[in-house]
Amino acid sequence: QCDLQGLWRNELGSNMTILALNTAGTFSGSYHTAVAATNKQILMSPLQGAQQHPGTKRYPAFGFTVQWQFSDSITAFVGQCFVDHRGKETLETMWLLREEVLSHKDTWKATRVGTSIFTRIK
Ligand code: BTN
């Protein structure tokens, strides 16, 4: 079974820590992004998430949000935890980064989307 708890790094060099899941499958942690869309100084930011069917699925689906402490934006990640035949775990995710715009007329440019793969570093 794939375990979300631990220290993970993605292809951008961002690091995140996911703390132990509770019995309901919800979890918290922290995210240190390597890059930003703003010019502000990057700060460690909290994450909150949930995993489906904790303890019963081999490759569980999960989602979490990161509430950036240095920008007005917020990111939602969804993904699945996989384990390969060597026991190597990866989190294969997609994300949406929503920025705050000052008018709904700017909604068209307010959301970025991407994919990200995290590997366990601890
Ligand atoms: C901001 O720029 O307003 C906040 C930081 C956003 C960082 C993004 S979230 C998706 C992508 N994956 C990362 O690890 N960092 C960027």
Q: Do 40 and 70 form a contact (C-beta atoms < 8 A)?
A: yes
The best mutation among 11, 64, 66, 75 to test binding of ligand 1, ranked by most ligand atoms within 8 Å of the C-beta, falls on 75
> Among residues 51, 61, 45, 42, which one has the least CA distance to residue 21?
51
Q: 50: how many CB neighbours lie within 10 A of its CB?
A: 15
Which CATH number is associated with domain 6-120?
Answer: 2.40.128.30
Give, in order, the Cα–Cα distances in Å from 120 to each of 2, 8, 14, 19, 87: 11, 4, 12, 13, 11
Per-residue pLDDT reduced to its tens digit, 78-121: 999 999 999 999 999 999 999 999 999 999 999 999 999 999 99
Q: For ligand 1, which residues put their CB under 6 angstroms from it?
A: 10, 12, 14, 33, 35-38, 68, 71, 73, 75, 95, 97, 114, 116
Enumerate the domain spans of the chain: 6-120
CA distance 122 to 120: 6
Residue 37 pLDDT grade (very low, low, confident, very high; cuts 50, 70, 90)? very high
* Token couple for 112: 């970025």
Distance 85 CA to ligand 1 centre (A): 31
